Chains A and B, each alone.
Chain A
């Protein structure tokens, strides 16, 4: 089993749609969680951290379920500019020197006009 798995995609959705991505991780001791977006052939950019209580940033909502070891990202009212690959990132380390960021393979989203 891979350490971090994501919905395989691609997701093709019309503008204005709501879309959700899921990510599962293997290490129950994982410390922190992030969603990044990556445009084609560009660097990953932090979209949002994922907190235990869930968090929202505008049209984006992230949830964490530690019992089931998954995180999710919900995008409401999709825009054309949301088209990108979304990377789930899990820090599986512990303590100040235990950082171990593991990246999922990404889920590609295309928002269609």
Chain B
């Protein structure tokens, strides 16, 4: 299912570099989310957006920023990467409404050296 596409799939970079992770979707959903997952832990919400003009911080937004360029695109930036941002990053989308589930992209594996 390629309805939610993340690029790149893998990235290795050095401390201090600026990195952008991109997410695009063809599901027509208004809502998009960025999560990170660390081994043995649940997914943690970084940022979310309910429409093009709406950006909200999640529980771990420090060190990250986002841009909602269009309904279908939501990018995540690490302004100055640090090693503890090494993680698996997922983009997700959902339709509006309380009972709508989220649909995830394949993930981006990011390593900061």
Contact = CB atoms under 8 A, between A and B. Distances in A.
A46 B3 CA distance: 14
B98 A43 contact: no
Nearest to B43: A103
B105 A87 contact: no
Interface stretch (B64-72, B75-83, B88-96): B88-96
A26 interface: no
User: Closest 6 A-B residue pairs measured CB to CB?
Assistant: A103-B42, A43-B104, A103-B43, A32-B99, A31-B98, A105-B42
B102 interface: yes
Interface stretch (A58-66, A72-80, A91-99): A91-99
A94 B42 contact: no
Give chain A's interface secondary structure class. Answer: loop
Give the interface size class of chain B. 20 to 34
B103 interface: yes
A46 B4 CA distance: 14
Interface string A75-113: 000000000000101010111111101111110000000
B98 A106 contact: no
Contacts of B41: 105
A96 B51 CA distance: 12
A3 to B, nearest CB: 9
Given A49-B99, A98-B98, 15 more contacts: A32-B98, A34-B101, A42-B106, A42-B107, A43-B107, A44-B104, A45-B104, A46-B102, A93-B98, A97-B50, A99-B50, A99-B94, A99-B98, A102-B42, A104-B42
A71 interface: no
Contacts of B107: 41-43
A95 B88 contact: no
Interface in A37-70: 41-46, 49
B101 A49 contact: yes
A41 B88 contact: yes
Contact of A106 (B42, B90, B96): B42
Nearest to B109: A41
A34 B104 CA distance: 14
A101 B98 contact: no
